[in-house]
Amino acid sequence: MHRKIEVGFADQGISDAFDALKHGKGAEQELYESLNKAFDELKMDPLCGIKVPRKLWPKEYVKKYGIDNLWKYNLPRGWRMTYTLRMEEVCILAVALEWMDHKDYERRFGYRG
């Protein structure tokens, strides 16, 4: 049986932030379109991102979302989106945890102080 692949958000705050981008201008609108393209690609292949080694997982993600896998998707202009996969009985759910610019990504994953 082939499972349906869906994309969702980890919580309402992330969903609201995504919706706010839709109504933004310039860079916000560009980020919104890039995220939509990423979501479309995830629906085709949820493993299209880069798997993040467990030792690099932010403790906040484990505590807040209870993740057991973590993926990174590179967006244009140095932005990154993190997501986790949840296997449900009838579908695979790619859950967007957050997106951030490269500087914040390096800070979140401990590459910078």
Which residues lie across from 82 on neighbouring strands? Answer: 72, 98
Closest CA to 31 of 95, 83, 94, 80: 80
Alpha-helical runs (H) found in the chain: 12-22, 27-44, 59-65, 102-108
pLDDT digits (tens, 9 = 90+) for 8-55: 999 999 999 999 999 999 999 999 999 999 999 999 999 999 999 999
For residue 104, what are the domain limits?
Answer: 4-108
Number of domains in the chain: 1
| Structure tokens belonging to residue 100 | 């951030």
> Tell me: the pLDDT tens digits for 66-109?
999 999 999 999 999 999 999 887 788 999 999 999 999 998 98
In a domain, 113, yes or no: no
> Has residue 51 been placed in a domain?
yes
Q: Is residue 11 part of a domain?
A: yes
pTM value?
0.90
The owner of tokens 């140095």 is: 78
Q: Is residue 62 one of the residues assigned to a domain? A: yes
